[in-house]
Amino acid sequence: KRWADEEAKRGRIIGVGFSVYVEITTFGYETAILRAERDGNFTLFTALTPHGQGVATALAQVLADELEVPMEKIKVYWGDTAYVSDGIGTMGSRSITAGGSAVILAARRLKEELVKAAEKLLGCRPEYGGGIFQCGGKSVTIEEVVKAVYRGKANAQLAVGAIYHADATFPFGVHVAAVELDPETGFVRPLLYKSYDDVGVVVNPLLAAGQTIGGALQGIAQALYEEAVYDESGNLLTPNLAFYYVPTAAEAPRYEVYFADEPHPSRHPTGTKGIGEAATIASTPAVVMAVEDAIRRLKLGIRIDKTPITPEDVWRLLR
């Protein structure tokens, strides 16, 4: 607000808005199939499908952390019913919590099998940590144990599965938007977008930030740009991207994405709550409020009751 006040002295009309949200996420079940390969690597099969959100990478991280092995030793296969026939899919900010928790359960079952195999090699029941089984002053790596299981067994397969039934989680946060208004044209330009979210454990900060940025731009699009327009005869006037305005990087504001320093983990094995849709929920009202604030700076107390707020809409409101 202080920044907007300072810019007003320079003739700029800047509005600031915010929104506070609580989202209900995670439902249903997900399946994970985990197979230890003969070369000591691991293959994960999931019904979840990545389409830009990076869930395959996040699941590989979850598995690598649980098995305490490098990510390079893990391959993820997704969307193949030949391997995983049961799963709900990617939606509702649920993938990493439901799917990742299934991965953790499968990894724990695999470790139980590998402990039994390591016990035969070492002659005592070992403890596992850092990719190594140890007991009685002796040790073997997880790779050595896997290879020992397969040795001399042409048709052997070391695989486990897990189904995780997830109940609801509740990520929450506050998002702030700043826009600049041109009163002559009604054009609104997003300038700055800040978010602060508690989404539980953040598995991959870069992917989580990308989810927030993409979700925010989608919400900004709903607030300012995207609209299906029909004429009086019911003909669609926005049939393609030449007429239906989808924002690009050129329209995107500057983003500042923050996550809680001390998050409240969920009760699920991953400790996550979900991130995919948070910014789409928070961004539209924050931007609408910012436009109202900009109009208010022109001494007009106008409430906006529609989206998108097109330049024509703003121009008419100002007159």
Which residues are catalytic, by number?
277
Classified as helix, coil or strand, 163 is: strand
Neighbouring CB atoms inside 10 A of 310's CB total 18
Classified as helix, coil or strand, 64 is: helix
| CA 13 to each of CA 154, 184, 290: distance values in angstroms, whole numbers, following the listed order | 73, 11, 11
Task: Answer for the pair 50, 56: CB distance below 8 angstroms, yes or no.
Answer: yes
In 3D space, the residue among 16, 9, 317, 66 whose CA is nearest the CA of residue 183 turns out to be: 317
Taking the C-alpha atoms of residue 145 and residue 160, their distance in angstroms, rounded to an integer, is 16
Question: What is the torsion angle, in degrees rounded to the nearest 10, for the CA atoms of residue 216, residue 248, residue 293 and residue 284?
Answer: -30
User: In the numeric block, which tokens belong to residue 244?
Assistant: 């239906």
In 3D space, the residue among 39, 30, 105, 117 whose CA is nearest the CA of residue 72 turns out to be: 39
Output the 3-class SS for 227-274: CCCECCCCCECCCCCCCCCCCCHHHCCEEEEEECCCCCCCCCCCCECC
Taking the C-alpha atoms of residue 207 and residue 165, their distance in angstroms, rounded to an integer, is 24
